Amino acid sequence: MIDAPDPSDDAHTPPPLPATTSGDAPAPDAAWDTGWRALPDAARRAYRLGAVTGWGITGLVATVVSGVLAFAGDHPLAFGLAAAAAPLAGAALGWWQGGHAWRHTAFRLDADGLHLRRGRWWQTQVLVPRSRVQHMDVQRGPIERPLGLATLIVHTAGTRLNAVQVKGLAVEDAERMRDALVRESDHDDDAV
């Protein structure tokens, strides 16, 4: 059984991140331990739209292949029906996958750094320690911009997972997280 939250339930809407103190330095560590937070509801639409687009294109490719086979085979009607169903099946799979990905993505900001948790079947947990942060970017793509969302990209020292992306954040939260991950000692440097 899948333990999906009720879409009408406001419990999945994350509380706002705490504001920073003067100089954009992180607030005291206890204030930043916000616990695991879900992505905002608008991110569900962005995740679904992205997945529907990807799977819809896959369905169109399957349609072209089915159309070619329909003219070459003995059962053109069967291949024609399969060709018509492929984009719809792709869109339905994308709709489900986008909602599933949104529901099983959470983040946490605490004294150690940024924690990111993704997935239900293949779970991934990433910790980006504050001491490893090199620089950060906030990006807004064509799907995110109208929904008031952004992607926070945290570039780290090292070679494995040297850039961690947190997609579907509210713009204000992405900017606050970016500012919170900057260490106080870096405020005098041009490193960030």
Instruction: Give the separation between CA 24 and CA 153, rounded to whole angstroms.
Output: 19
The one-character DSSP state at 87 is H
8 A C-beta contact, residue 34 and residue 110: yes
Dist CA 138 CA 116 (whole Å): 16
Whole-structure pTM value? 0.68
C-alpha distances in angstroms, 9 versus 6, 13, 15, 107, 163?
5, 8, 14, 19, 33
Strand 37-38 versus strand 105-109 pairing type: antiparallel
More confident residue, 40 or 81: 40
Confidence (pLDDT) at 8 = 43
Stronger pLDDT, 176 or 33, i.e. the higher one: 176
- pLDDT tens-digit readout, 44-73: 999 999 999 888 888 878 777 776 766 666
